[in-house]
Amino acid sequence: NAGVTQTPKFQVLKTGQSMTLQCAQDMNHNSMYWYRQDPGMGLRLIYYSASEGTTDKGEVPNGYNVSRLNKREFSLRLESAAPSQTSVYFCASSLSGTENYEQYFGPGTRLTVT
């Protein structure tokens, strides 16, 4: 099992460009999450999907959109990148809600917006 995979690993964008971060899991998990991690701050939830076909905003959703393409895949799109979106992005999955199940994290995508 590959677990949770993310592509790309690194990306540099110019302000205003768009891109999609891809995430896939092969553990048959229902819930998937996108987080960003900034220096000196904890991980913050951008969007999550409790199950296939549903998505909900997290703590910092502005400037992002998501798609739960199927049970395996959950993508994060930046429509018009801004320097404030420079961060490390982690995708995670869990069998179901965080009250009962641990989360499995992808390796992260380091994004720089210039």
Partner 1 sequence: KNEVEQSPQNLTAQEGEFITINCSYSVGISALHWLQQHPGGGIVSLFMLSSGKKKHGRLIATINIQEKHSSLHITASHPRDSAVYICAASGSARQLTFGSGTQLTVLP
User: Which stretches of the chain bind partner 1, using CB under 8 A?
Assistant: 33, 40-45, 48, 50, 58, 88, 90, 92, 97-105, 107-108
Tokens of 68: 């739960």
Q: Which residues pair with 9 in a beta bridge?
A: none
In the complex, the smallest distance separating the C-beta of residue 65 from partner 1, rounded to whole angstroms, is 18
Give least dist CB 95 to partner 1, A: 11
| Shortest separation between residue 31's beta carbon and partner 1, angstroms | 8
CA distance between the termini of the chain:
36
Query: 76 vs 92, which CB is nearer to partner 1?
Result: 92
Query: Could you give the 3-state DSSP secondary structure of residue 20?
Result: strand
Asked whether the beta carbons of 110 and 33 are under 8 A apart, the reply is no
Nearer to partner 1, 14 or 53 (CB): 53
Q: Tell me phi and psi for residue 85, to 5 degrees.
A: -95, 5
Cβ proximity to partner 1, 12 vs 15, nearer residue: 12
Query: What is the smallest separation between the CB atom of 114 and partner 1, expressed in angstroms?
Result: 21
Nearer to partner 1 by C-beta: 53 or 102? Answer: 102
What is the rounded distance in angstroms from the CA atom of residue 33 to the CA atom of residue 41?
A: 18
